[in-house]
A = this chain, B = another copy of it.
Amino acid sequence: MTQTTLPESHADLLTRPAFAHLATIRPDGSPQSNVMWFEWDGELLRFTHTSTRQKYKNLQAEPRVAVSIADPDNNYRYVEIRGTVESITEDDAQASFYRHLQERYDSVYPINDAAVRVIIAVRPTAFVVKD
């Protein structure tokens, strides 16, 4: 059942450091799927990315995306989120957002590509949950 707000029953999947499988559309109209870190602020999903890779090009041409996030402890429980890229902005000189996600995922390491790091913000339009 498709809903327009995040069901409370699955809210933990967005606050825990789970992994998002992000589906984007390639220039030829075919799909691409990548495993991504994310953060949810209750309104937008944010991802760190670089401006040099295919996904960035995909999103500039087609801002509609889908994300599926499974419970790390139970893959049968998941949320699918469909939405649209609202903005792609440069991370700051220290790539502070990337560092913030590193900390969220307990995986801090040196950042060598701060100059090309961007923040992708997605506004959800539909939520589908499975148990």
Contact = CB atoms under 8 A, between A and B. Distances in A.
Interface in A62-107: 62, 64-68, 70, 72, 75-76, 78, 80, 82
Interface residues on A, range: 20 to 34
A93 to B, nearest CB: 26
Q: How many copies of the polypeptide does the oligomer hold? A: 2
Interface of A: 19, 21-25, 29-35, 62, 64-68, 70, 72, 75-76, 78, 80, 82, 130
A66 B19 contact: no
A130 B53 CA distance: 14
9 contacts: A23-B31, A23-B66, A25-B30, A29-B62, A31-B82, A33-B66, A33-B68, A35-B68, A35-B70
